[in-house]
Amino acid sequence: MSDLNDVYNDLIMEHSMNSYNKRKIENADKTEKGHNPSCGDEIELQLKMDGNIIEDIAFTGQGCAISQSSTSIMSDVLRGKTIQEAKEIVKTFIDMIKRETTDEKQLEKLEDAIAFKNIAYMPARVKCALLAWHTIEKML
Amino acid sequence: MISAEEIKKDFLILKDNNIAYLDSGATSQKPKQVLEAVEKYYNTANANPYRGTYKLSESATQEYGRAREVVAKFINAKYSEEVIFTKNASEALNLIAYSYGLENIKKDDEIVISIMEHHSNLVPWQKVVKQNGAKLKYMYINKNYELDLEEIKSKITKNTKIVAITHVSNVLGTINPIKEIAKIAHQNGAIVVADCAQSVPHMKIDVQDIDADFVVFSGHKMLAPLGIGVLYGKKQLLENMVPFIMGGDMIEYVYEQETTFAELPHKFEAGTQNVGGAIGLASAIKYLENIGFDTIHKLEQEIVEYAKQELSKLEYVETYYTPNKENHCSVISFNIKGVHPHDLATILDSCNVAIRAGDHCAQPLIRYMNIPATCRATFYIYNTKQDVDKLVQGLQKAYNMFSKFIH
Ligand SMILES: Cc1ncc(COP(=O)(O)O)c(C=O)c1O
Ligand SMILES: [Zn+2]
């Protein structure tokens, strides 16, 4: 197993405990629920679009630190991106967690979401990290 | 009296991994005596039981029969054919639901269970009531996480045909008054199914004394290998039930369009059986009886009381068990305020402490308690005070990690 502090690092902890992305969007364009029964993690993602661009993204929900921080950090990373860019980032994130991409150059586009890299070595928690990303896949 | 430290030496996995294993409620570890008995069977007596006419097959048949007798004696069954080997408690409960429930439950009949049931003693009954137009009623817990006698009496009525109840809750550790429940059920003309998966490993069960009509448990929670479980049923009930799984060894005569079935216990044991598992179970029973249930009770009482005392010193830990010591057994569920149980389990894992986090296959109970999940430490004969100390250290670490982010 990887070092615990690599996973529960300050960035992840701060996002899980005190996320400014945890809020409702007034007249959102899209809403989608995600659920991870193994942990009981639940999120509801909301998108506000400006044409092709994700103008705002926010979520509500409850669950473990990994699922909640992953959702929050994803919100930061995808805000302001085009749908096409977002799709690529989502794919790269999923590939990283499944250890199908380790190319540093590729991973750069994940910005802060790269903090979850070591979750790949914690099989029991992979679902937590992926919940938000699988949920947004359905919305893009 | 033998000590937990002494017992632990028989469990190589615990010795070699330096792990505080606090998940015996999910499955216990296995002592070398049990593993040796299984190995010996495969090295000296293995063949397909019942089917061969040579010496080895006869030895397999005999060993299997002997294992059944050991189990029958262990639970004080009147006849050894009242003991049916299954894969686990879940399969045994499904057998009862299909072969007894579906056949006997009629429209508007009631099946009574408790809110603390494991899904294995809940989902099969949902199927029975849905299919037959009957009702599933719940007995709820009081603030001590126990079933009140008034609650039991108000739910079990003349309409009740089956009462299916866990003897010990796998989330709360509550010991239910199984004997009184059986009595009340019988007074109302209902039969009783006792899920003893969490009690048989820890206490002497006498099926005639508690007078349950069916009793189920899993070998793997009581030192035996995975894949062997037990259904006990009163002979007269079992004899009148239809088979559950059809196949080899459970028949008498098979014609092109008709079949007659074998006698008990074979009627309920289709296909080649897990003889190695049954021998492992018999060996586990011998191991437990050698220590003795009085000693087991004392050892567990000591460790559980110590754990309760140490946990109560951590003001940020919330626990869920009855204050009545005599109604509580081997399970402590808990939460740390502000820390999700799965994060806690991950952090404890990094401290070499194995506990379980989640709904523990008891979603209706967790929902009723209005919490998202719990962490659960379960204790067995090989757990020492050092295991508890490691748990407490891990909890402190987790609390420190999370509390600095609570603004
Ligand atoms: C109370 C109770 N009933 C039934 C079961 C099911 O046992 P198994 O999974 O071995 O079938 C369990 C254990 O998981 C349990 O704790
Ligand atoms: Zn999770």
Q: Which atom of ligand 1 is nearest to the CA of B90?
A: 11
Q: How many CB atoms lie within 10 A of CB B325?
A: 12
pLDDT, tens digit (0-9, with 9 covering 90-100), for B67-85: 999 999 999 999 999 999 9
Contact B349, B22 (CB under 8 A): no
Contact B147, B176 (CB under 8 A): yes
Q: Which uninterrupted H or E stretch holds B336?
A: strand B331-336
Q: Which uninterrupted H or E stretch holds B44?
A: helix B32-44
Q: CB-based burial of residue B268 (10 Å sphere; 0-12 exposed, 13-18 middle, 19+ buried)?
A: buried
Q: Please state whether beta strands A41-50 and B83-86 pair in parallel, antiparallel, or not at all (unpaired).
A: unpaired
Chain centroid to Cα B306, Å, comes to 24
Across the interface, of A1, A4, A39, the residue whose CB is closest to B342 is A39
**Is the CB of B342 less than 8 angstroms away from the CB of A122?**
no
Mention every residue, 6+ apart, whose C-beta is less than 8 A from residue B18: B352
Separation CA B202–CA B210 (nearest Å): 16
Contact B372, B318 (CB under 8 A): no
Q: Please state whether beta strands B135-139 and B110-114 pair in parallel, antiparallel, or not at all (unpaired).
A: parallel
Across the interface, of B340, B350, B406, the residue whose CB is closest to A65 is B340
Q: What is the share, in percent, of chain B residues with pLDDT greater than 90?
A: 94
Does residue B81 have its Cβ closer than 6 Å to ligand 1? no
Q: Does the pLDDT at position B404 exceed 90? A: no
Whether residue B340 lies within 8 A of chain A, CB to CB, comes out as: yes
Rounded to two decimals, the ipTM of the complex is 0.89
What integer best gives the mean pLDDT of chain A?
A: 93
Distance B406 CA to ligand 2 centre (A): 19
Structural Rg of chain B based on CA atoms: 22
A41 vs chain B: nearest CA distance in angstroms? 9
Minimal Cα distance from B372: which residue of A?
A40
Across the interface, of A1, A17, A40, the residue whose CB is closest to B373 is A40
CA angle B70, B72, B74 (to 5 degrees): 65
Minimal Cα distance from B406: which residue of A?
A17
- For ligand 2, a single-atom ion, the residues with CB < 5 A are A 39, 41, 64, 67, 128; B 342
Q: How many CB atoms lie within 10 A of CB B238?
A: 24
Does residue B167 have its Cβ closer than 6 Å to ligand 1? no
Separation CA B192–CA A91 (nearest Å): 54
What the block records as the tokens of B378 is: 């379960």
Catalytic residue among B196, B329, B361, B375: B361
Q: What is the DSSP string of A34-84?
A: EEETTTTEEEEEEEEEETTEEEEEEEEEE--HHHHHHHHHHHHHHTT-BHH
What the block records as the tokens of B12 is: 């190589």
Q: What is the mean pLDDT of residues B283-312?
A: 98
- Give the residue, B365 or A40, on which the prediction is more confident: B365
Q: Collapsing DSSP states into helix, strand and coil, what is residue B227? A: coil
Q: What is the mean pLDDT of residues B177-204?
A: 98
Give the domain extent around A69: 2-139
The domain that contains A105 carries what CATH number? 3.90.1010.10
Q: Please state whether beta strands B353-354 and B356-358 pair in parallel, antiparallel, or not at all (unpaired).
A: unpaired
Q: Does the pLDDT at position A1 exceed 50? A: no
Q: What is the share, in percent, of chain B residues with pLDDT greater than 70?
A: 100
Q: Return the pLDDT at A2.
A: 54
Closest protein CA for atom 12 of ligand 1: B197
Q: Which of B120, B231, B380 to mutate to test the pocket of ligand 1 (most atoms within 8 A of CB)?
A: B120
Closest protein CA for atom 7 of ligand 1: B89
**Is the CB of B401 less than 8 angstroms away from the CB of A63?**
no
Does residue B118 have its Cβ closer than 6 Å to ligand 1? yes
Q: Which long-range contacts (CB under 8 A, 24 or more apart) does B285-288 make?
A: B285/B70, B285/B71, B285/B74, B285/B222, B286/B33, B286/B70, B287/B10, B287/B31, B287/B33, B287/B34, B287/B223, B288/B201, B288/B222, B288/B223
Q: Does the pLDDT at position B306 exceed 80? A: yes
Q: Return the pLDDT at A131.
A: 97
pLDDT, tens digit (0-9, with 9 covering 90-100), for A54-69: 999 999 999 999 999 9
Q: How many CB atoms lie within 10 A of CB B86?
A: 26
Distance B90 CA to ligand 1 centre (A): 6
What integer best gives the mean pLDDT of chain B?
A: 96
Q: Which domains does chain B have, with CATH numbers?
A: 4-23+292-405 (3.90.1150.10), 45-289 (3.40.640.10)
pTM for the structure as a whole:
0.94
Number of domains observed in the structure of chain A: 1
Q: Among this protein's residues, is B375 annotated catalytic? A: no
Q: Which atom of ligand 1 is nearest to the CA of B87?
A: 11
Distance B165 CA to ligand 1 centre (A): 12
What the block records as the tokens of B407 is: 């603004």
Whether residue B26 lies within 8 A of chain A, CB to CB, comes out as: no
Contact B330, B168 (CB under 8 A): yes
pLDDT, tens digit (0-9, with 9 covering 90-100), for B219-273: 999 999 999 999 999 999 999 999 999 998 899 999 999 999 999 999 999 999 9
